Amino acid sequence: MNHPHSPTIAAIATANGRGGVGIIRISGKDLLPFAQAISGGKTPKPRTALYTDFLAADGSAIDNGLLLYFASPASFTGEDVIELQGHGGQIVLQMLLARCVELGARLAEAGEFSKRAFLNNKMDLAQAESVADLIDASSQAAARMAMRSLKGVFSQQIHALVDDLITLRMLVEATLDFPEEDIDFLQAADAKGKLASLQTQLANIFAHAQQGAILREGMNVVLVGAPNVGKSSLLNALAGDDVAIVTDIAGTTRDTVREYITLDGVPIHITDTAGLRQTDDIVEQIGIQRSEKAVQNADVALILIDPNEGLNDTTREILFRLPENLKCIEIHNKIDLKNDNPSVENRSGSLKNETGASTIIKLSAKTGAGLDLLKHELLQQVGWQGESEGLFLARTRHIHALQTAQTELDNAAACGNHQIELLAEHLRLAQVACNEITGEFTADDLLGVIFSRFCIGK
Ligand code: GDP
Ligand code: ZN
């Protein structure tokens, strides 16, 4: 994929704010004239730091610092790249950026450097995405796994799969040209066996990708329950410090309060919902609307119950408003008041509790007893198996593509001996799905969406 029209782009690559050093990054076709113009006639050697003034049009110095020149194709984008490393003040950086525009660059769009790197085959789409994921990583584990994707762990597995898929497709399509020998030929070449091993290979990648997606996407948890059962207290206990207002007056948590924690590296968003019930109070109504939205987006609901009161009408009304398939954990809070021990109990089928929860945890938000049980259970619910070698960060997009590929391979496996054309088509579609991950055949509009979510200067 070569794009003939590729204007010079420039952006401040360092974070917005004060810093010791601020970097402007420029990418374009032939940047030596640019380097000479901004340095007052000096010619930089590739990959060598050049200490120089950065000059305005009238020859005065805007700033001084290091100019780095990366000659095409040995650069991040594959084009000529220049980095101006100056002082990290926003005004001076803006002035430098304006000077770059004067010299013919235009302001880079979000993710445009990475997009060029992708278009110039410096990395595939999954790797380009991992650049953004590494920058956005919300935990050390996520950062480590983004780095593995960036180094191509994920892409290599997809490429290996696609290679095998192509081998099988060639076999099948060769048969199409000689229909009289089809079945014998495919049997002799063990097409069925090859297909089965492709399915195993894909299932393996899928399992890893799912773990990677958990680490990237995390999970949304909502705390629901009648006023005063201890929702705010539990949120605080999980977060480890006071974020919500804890009071003894019913209905005081009028806002939806969100807290972000990581468990074993997995990002978890917890929302303390307001009562989720009918009310005439306007302020409370707004909180309730937000709570309902949080509940709709939730992966798991923690239903808090005061063990002394059990399931009261308020709680029943709240339960009635929960989405049907939402996973629920029943929390019996305040065990310290009864001198009870923390515990986890799993129930299934008809033994499920009235709340519909299959897990019941007894704990105390106040003393913290049983919190570890809850944390462990949350990781179980999301399916996190812990960090291990071979994992990589994956996006929902990747999961969907892998699912499509799986369906197509299943369809292929279900083809009868005389449905060779159909078999060939399913294999082709499986490959299309895999190629979407690495970006071989990805539509331009999808690329636009993916890269526009990057930050400017990356
Ligand atoms: P919310 O309305 O559901 O958010 O409940 P709060 O978190 O505001 O708690 C209501 C009251 O119950 C407060 O006085 C808390 O201190 C108290 N409380 C919450 N959890 C516990 C607990 O585990 N043990 C005891 N003894 N009191 C608790
Ligand atoms: Zn509260």
CA of 281 to the centre of ligand 1 (A): 23
Residue 124 annotated in ligand binding: no
Which atom of ligand 1 is nearest the CA belonging to 363?
23
Residue 194 annotated in ligand binding: no
Q: What CA–CA distances, in Å, run from 163 to 71, 89, 170, 270, 435?
A: 33, 50, 11, 43, 11
Positive or negative, the Cα torsion across 36, 39, 41, 44? negative
Q: Residue 181 above 80 pLDDT? A: no
Ligand nearest to the CA of 306: 1
Class of 134-214+395-439 per CATH? mainly alpha
Instruction: Read off the pLDDT band of 253 (50, 70, 90).
Output: very low
Residue 458 annotated in ligand binding: yes
Residue 280 annotated in ligand binding: no
Which atom of ligand 1 is nearest the CA belonging to 365?
23
**pLDDT tens digit string along 343-355?**
999 887 655 667 7
Residue 233 annotated in ligand binding: yes
Give me the pLDDT at residue 180, please. 63
Considering the domain delimited by 9-123, tell me its CATH architecture.
2-Layer Sandwich (3.30)
Give me the pLDDT at residue 256, please. 47
Give me the pLDDT at residue 245, please. 46
Give me the pLDDT at residue 259, please. 81
CA of 326 to the centre of ligand 1 (A): 25
Please give the average per-residue pLDDT across 432-444, as a whole number: 84
Pocket test for ligand 1, best of 223, 224, 228 (most atoms within 8 A of CB): 228
Give me the pLDDT at residue 418, please. 79
Beta-sheet strands, E only, within 154-244: 219-224
Beta-sheet strands, E only, within 355-433: 359-362
Indicate the domain borders of the chain.
9-123, 134-214+395-439, 218-382
> Which of 39-48, 83-92, 271-280, 399-408 is predicted with the least confidence, judged by mean pLDDT?
271-280
> Which of 65-74, 84-93, 162-171, 302-311 is predicted with the least confidence, judged by mean pLDDT?
302-311
Instruction: Read off the pLDDT band of 289 (50, 70, 90).
Output: confident
CA of 66 to the centre of ligand 1 (A): 58
CA of 278 to the centre of ligand 1 (A): 22
The helix/strand/coil state of 345 is strand
Q: Which two tokens stand for residue 114?
A: 């990475």
Contacts of 363 (CB under 8 A, 6+ apart): 234, 331, 332, 333, 335, 342, 369, 370, 371, 373, 374
Q: Residue 442 above 70 pLDDT? A: no
Does this model's pTM top 0.90? My answer is no
State the pairing for strand pair 19-28/80-88.
antiparallel
Report the residue count for the chain.
458
Q: What CA–CA distances, in Å, run from 26 to 93, 120, 127, 138?
A: 13, 16, 21, 28
Residue 40 annotated in ligand binding: no
Give me the pLDDT at residue 317, please. 84
> Which of 60-64, 108-112, 313-317, 399-403 is predicted with the least confidence, judged by mean pLDDT?
313-317
Nearest residue to 232 via CA among 287, 278, 182, 298 = 287
Q: Residue 104 above 60 pLDDT? A: yes
Tell me which of 3.40.1190.10, 3.20.20.70, 3.40.50.300, 3.40.50.12240 is the CATH number of domain 218-382. Answer: 3.40.50.300
CA of 259 to the centre of ligand 1 (A): 17
**With contact defined as beta carbons under 8 Å apart, do 295 and 244 qualify?**
no
Exposed/middle/buried for residue 11 (C-beta within 10 Å: 0-12, 13-18, 19+): buried
Q: Residue 284 above 80 pLDDT? A: no
Exposed/middle/buried for residue 375 (C-beta within 10 Å: 0-12, 13-18, 19+): middle
List residues near ligand 1 (CB under 6 A).
Answer: 225, 227-233, 246-248, 253, 333-334, 336-337, 364-366
Q: Whose CA is nearest to atom 14 of ligand 1?
A: 248
> Which of 125-139, 206-220, 423-437, 442-456 is predicted with the least confidence, judged by mean pLDDT?
442-456
**pLDDT tens digit string along 67-86?**
999 999 999 999 999 999 99
Q: Whose CA is nearest to atom 24 of ligand 1?
A: 334
CA of 279 to the centre of ligand 1 (A): 22
Packed helices 191-217 and 140-150: angle between N→C axes, nearest 10 degrees: 140
Give me the pLDDT at residue 49, please. 96
Which atom of ligand 1 is nearest the CA belonging to 248?
14
Instruction: Read off the pLDDT band of 1 (50, 70, 90).
Output: very low
